[in-house]
Amino acid sequence: MALELKDVPRHETLLRDARRYPESDASAVEACLTLLRISDDVEAAYGAHFARHGLSQARFIVLMQLQREEEGLRPAELAERTGVTRATMTGLLDGLEKEGLVLRRAHAEDGRMSVVRLAAKGRQRLEGILPDHYRRTAALMSGLSAGERQQLTALLTKVAAGIPHVRDP
């Protein structure tokens, strides 16, 4: 059963715009709008998935980063790795610490800094989530062969290289 992509204009509409605006490329606009729509849908689906486990996507990502770093990470490193501001990271860590999922301790060499580590309860939470998470992720991508997944990754990497053209003045 094919999924209908709502809010993506029909190709004919995009061609009409391309005739009106010479800078427009109908196929580029169509591909970008499709990517944006699917991205929103995937993000919403993962949001529901993480909510079933009492987490947000951001909190899950923080826990996963800490799982990979036995020695822990400084909050600034976590913010950089997860692509959020330091203020946002502080809020995320406050909530995770309150729930007992992470531990914040003074840095061994510089007491002015803190290091965040995954608490035993956080490790247990991940152990309870990851089998379901990986199963759902595999199901999401099951319509693609291994080669198609590699191709998709390569294509999305090329798209990512164009992001500054949208973001920067």
- Over the stretch 96-154, which tens digit does the pLDDT of each residue have? 999 999 999 877 676 677 899 999 999 999 999 999 999 999 999 999 999 999 999 99
The tokens describing 128, both together, are 């309870």
Contact 103, 120 (CB under 8 A): no
Distance of alpha carbon 9 from the chain centroid: 26
Which of 1-15, 22-36, 122-136 has the largest mean confidence?
A: 122-136
The length of the chain, given as a count of residues = 169
> Which pLDDT score is estimated for 1?
34
> Which pLDDT score is estimated for 26?
79
Give Rg (Cα) of the chain. Answer: 21
* Nearest-10 Cα torsion for 154, 157, 159, 161: -140
Q: Where are the domains of the chain?
A: 55-138
Average pLDDT, the chain: 90
Domain 55-138, classified CATH 3.40.50.620, yes or no: no
Q: What is the largest CA-CA distance in the chain?
A: 64
